[in-house]
Structure 1
Amino acid sequence: MSYGTPVPDGDPLMEPFWQNAREHRLSVQCCRDCGDRHFPPSPVCPSCLSEEQDWEVVSGKATLISWVTFHRAYWDVLQSQLPYDVCLVALEEGPLLMSNFLGPRPENAREGLPLRVAFDAVSDHLTLPKFVAA
């Protein structure tokens, strides 16, 4: 199976995230020195600048911060998916994550809506964490 829309570019810092997603686990980077959980990953902790970074599997529970509905395709391959939603969620463990809803936007979408992660295996090698109403 192939996926017809833009895909992650193979950033080595993100590989643990994508590996966990393929196994239906949501993860964020965590500093071994100060415990800061952050996403996207970085070579140093954004809080204390330590290079001691690990990945931590998180609960997948989140809160909807906001969303936007795109009516314009910025890539030609997205034309058939218009309109589509992109959401910003706050994970229970702290970091913010930009994603999509799995399926249509929840009818009761509003700031503060409880969400949970759901995994969408879009190809043999790519599983995307998306969100549904909890």
Structure 2
Amino acid sequence: MSWDPRPVPDVTPETERYWTAAAQGELLVRECQECGFVYHYPRSLCPDCFSEDVEWRESSGRGEVYSYSTARTMSGWPEDDLPLVLAYVELEEGPRLMTNVDADPSAVEIGTRVAVEFRDVDDSEIAVPVFVPEDG
């Protein structure tokens, strides 16, 4: 599971801070100052109450696998990096994010505790968060 560098994600004004923080080893989520909802994918309006009073918050980068699937073939993905574990990870802070778990599929199941790591892309100011099983 070492495809380096990974493809560059689409960066928008709403997501730029998220991607650049990842390049610095930080996983960010958004928190609504109006209703307290913590969410991911980054957007400027709270998806719960539609408030514009939202702030970035650093996540612990720890969570557990909520759901997952194993891709054994994938168009455009290097064969040496298959199979690929695609997952929803529920962060300790509450939001779920779609990502991949960089591990042998036999080491992953619903409830597996995971921690974030960051993978380089062709743009040095951006990194992609992926998760790995925690030891123990």
> After TM superposition, is the score higher than 0.5?
yes
| TM-aligned CA deviation for residue 100 of structure 1 | 1.2
Alignment of structure 1 residues 81-100 onto 2, 5 Å:
81-100=81-100
Give me the whole-angstrom Cα distance separating, in 2, the residues matched to 1:4 and 1:58. Answer: 23
Q: How does 1:37-76 map to 2 (within 5 A)?
A: 37-74=38-75, 76=76
Separation in structure 1 between the aligned mates of residue 69 and residue 55 of structure 2, nearest angstrom = 32
Q: TM-score, normalised by structure 2?
A: 0.83
* 1:1-134 aligned within 5 A: 3=5, 5=7, 7-74=8-75, 76=76, 78-80=77-79, 81-102=81-102, 104-105=103-104, 107-123=106-122, 124-134=124-134
- What is the CA-CA distance between 1:107 and the residue it aligns to? 3.7
**CA offsets, 1:10-51, max 9 Å, x none?**
221111111110110111011121111111122311111101
Structure 2 Cα separation of the partners of residues 30 and 131 of structure 1: 22
Answer whether contact 2:70 2:105 (CA < 8 A) is retained: no
CA deviation after TM superposition for structure 1 residue 95, in Å? 0.3
- Secondary structure (helix, strand or coil) at the match of 2:17 reads helix
Q: What is the root-mean-square deviation in Å for CA atoms of aligned residues?
A: 1.9
* Alpha-carbon distance between aligned partners in 1 of 2:37 and 2:22, rounded to the nearest angstrom: 21
Task: Report if aligned partners of 2:62, 2:114 keep a CA contact under 8 Å in 1.
Answer: yes
Instruction: Give the count of matched residue pairs.
Output: 129
After TM superposition, give the deviation of residue 79 of structure 1 in Å. Answer: 4.5
Question: How far apart, CA to CA, are the structure 2 residues paired with 1:4 and 1:110?
Answer: 25
Identity over aligned pairs, percent: 33
Instruction: Give the Å deviation of 1:9.
Output: 1.1
**CA 1:86–1:16 in structure 2 vs 1: closer, same or farther (change >3 Å)?**
same
| CA–CA distance in structure 2, aligned partners of residues 37 and 26 of structure 1 | 13
TM-score calculated relative to the size of structure 1: 0.84
SS at match of 2:107: coil
Q: Secondary structure at the match of 2:132?
A: strand
